Homo-oligomer: A and B are copies of this chain.
Amino acid sequence: MNDMKYIFHPRSIAIVGATSDPLKIGYSYMTSILDLGFKGKLYPINPKRSEVLGIKAYPTLRDAPRPIDYAISNIPARQVPQMVEDCLAAGVKVLQLFTAGFSETGEDEGIRLEEEMVRIARKGVVRIIGPNCLGVYYPKIGLAFNAINMPKESGPVAFLSQSGGYANELTNIGGLRGIRFSKVVSYGNACDLNETDFLEYLAHDPDTEVIAAYIEGVKNGPGFVRALREATKRKPVVILKGGRTEAGTRAAASHTGALTGAVEVWDALCRQMGVLQVNNLDEMADLLLAFLHLPVPQGRNVCVIGLGGGVSVQAADDCNAAGLHVYPLPPEIRAELKKITPEAGTSIANPIDSILMFSPEEFYKTITITASCQQIDLLIVHMTLEFGISYTGGIELMQAVADNVIRAGKETGKPVAVVLRTAGALPIWQGFLELRERFHKAGFPVFPTIAGAAVALDRFVQYHQNRGGSE
């Protein structure tokens, strides 16, 4: 565990293969770390340059000033064994390797190179993350792997990913959807530090409240089971398993050389430990948003507010199918709602139409009245930008509606999830992003679909009910 200190608190970072060519990955690492405001020393390593992006460069790790706690490298695989020797000579504590072409190729040369690299590393104290990985994003200290949509702010979600692509995607997509991260670790082939090491660390990490992971296969079965038991006792653990099918298993083998194992065994393990399994990254983001923002619901009686007609019929079907209960509102609540929805054609049974109540104040009252119903445990507010804009003439009224949803939601104390949709035409997109951001900043999760929201909410309720039973 001591090695983790240097991963998560390096005093200095060397980037082997640093360059000012924007098409190279060595440039991405440099600029991302600079953008995120890393406070320690940064040493570009490049035998052909005296400086990179205005920072003094060194020909090899041996030539850079000490201490070098953390080295990031993307140089070709055949040059890696020599570079690991340099790491030992320079006292590097952690080496993070983007470089691919090792055991994941399934070819003798790649396997041999990876073994040689590990053998050399174990002569000293250098620990390896990767190879064939993006490495670590740790916004609190400014450690980063990519520059698009990477939030500067920290948050309570850790993501552990055997895939660099997914580490990148969840950071980007999740970042835009309001998820903020404690640490994201892409660990690739896991030739040294592996999922078990990171999971153990994250289970005890005070910055991390929820652990998410993308895992194809594990290196150390018994150790992983122990770490998973520890982690699930302390925090919600959400896992996306890659290689669930025969085709996926083959792809995983050629991706990180992972032996994915029998999916039935995996599923049984997850059930036993209370792991929240998801089917894709969107489902993962939905579930993380629920854990990030929502108070604990008392049950699964949901009230859906907004839109109407076929969209509400489908919303009811989606909620039911996910396991939630669309609770018919009792007469006294309907009587209250009736006072503010005098127009014909407005359904107030649940789902409640918003078709004729695009006044922000009526939205506020609808939520307040509905949430006052003792039997209702959670609320879903459902809006499309096109509907609002075409019937009201502008984004301003949608913003006022949003502010009233937020005000009512905060007052009720019950979980309020927002589903915000748009067909995505260019003139509407900016308004959509701003409206979504408005909800995030106020601490409300925004989901792209009712079906997705319903699945996430149902699992969120289930998780808390299971915990309640065992505590």
Contact = CB atoms under 8 A, between A and B. Distances in A.
A317 interface: yes
A320 interface: yes
Contact of A254 (B22, B349, B391): B349
Interface stretch (A2-10, A49-57, A237-245): A237-245
Interface in A238-268: 240, 242-248, 250-252, 254-256
B310 A161 contact: yes
B424 A165 contact: no
A105 B326 contact: no
Given A311-B166, A320-B245, A100 B345 contact: yes
Contact of A176 (B28, B132, B351, B425): B425
Interface string A364-405: 000000000000000000001011011111000000000000
A309 B165 contact: yes
A242 B425 contact: no
Given A245-B321, A321-B245, A423 B149 contact: yes
A318 to B, nearest CB: 8
Contact of A77 (B248, B344, B347): B344
Contacts of A328: 250
Contact of A313 (B252, B308, B384): B252
A247 B317 contact: yes
A317 B147 contact: no
A214 B310 contact: yes
B313 A172 contact: no
A280 interface: yes
B163 A245 contact: no
Contact of A250 (B172, B254, B349): B349
A110 interface: yes
Interface in A309-333: 309-321, 325-326, 328
A390 B150 CA distance: 12
A147 B428 CA distance: 14
Q: How large is the interface on A (under 10, 10 to 19, 20 to 34, 35 or more residues)?
A: 35 or more
A430 interface: yes
Interface in A73-132: 76-77, 100-102, 104-105, 110, 132
B22 A251 contact: no
A163 B315 CA distance: 13
A430 B425 contact: no
A272 B315 CA distance: 27
A442 interface: no
A221 B1 CA distance: 69
A17 interface: no
A113 to B, nearest CB: 10
Residue of A110, A132, A214, A242 most packed against chain B (CB within 10 A):
A242
A26 interface: no
Contacts of A349: 250-251, 254
A248 B172 contact: no
28 contacts: A22-B393, A100-B344, A102-B344, A104-B345, A147-B390, A148-B386, A148-B425, A161-B310, A166-B311, A168-B386, A172-B425, A175-B423, A176-B425, A240-B314, A242-B313, A242-B314, A245-B316, A247-B316, A248-B313, A248-B317, A251-B313, A251-B317, A251-B326, A251-B349, A255-B310, A255-B313, A256-B309, A425-B433
Interface of A: 22-23, 28, 76-77, 100-102, 104-105, 110, 132, 146-149, 161-166, 168-169, 172-173, 175-176, 214, 216, 240, 242-248, 250-252, 254-256, 279-282, 307-321, 325-326, 328, 343-345, 347, 349, 351, 384, 386-387, 389-393, 423-426, 429-430, 433, 449, 451
Given A165-B310, A242-B310, 16 more contacts: A23-B393, A28-B390, A76-B344, A148-B386, A148-B390, A148-B423, A163-B309, A165-B308, A176-B424, A248-B314, A250-B328, A251-B347, A254-B347, A255-B310, A255-B347, A426-B433
10 closest residue pairs by CB, A with B: A163-B310, A101-B344, A100-B345, A248-B317, A245-B320, A247-B326, A247-B316, A242-B313, A251-B316, A166-B310
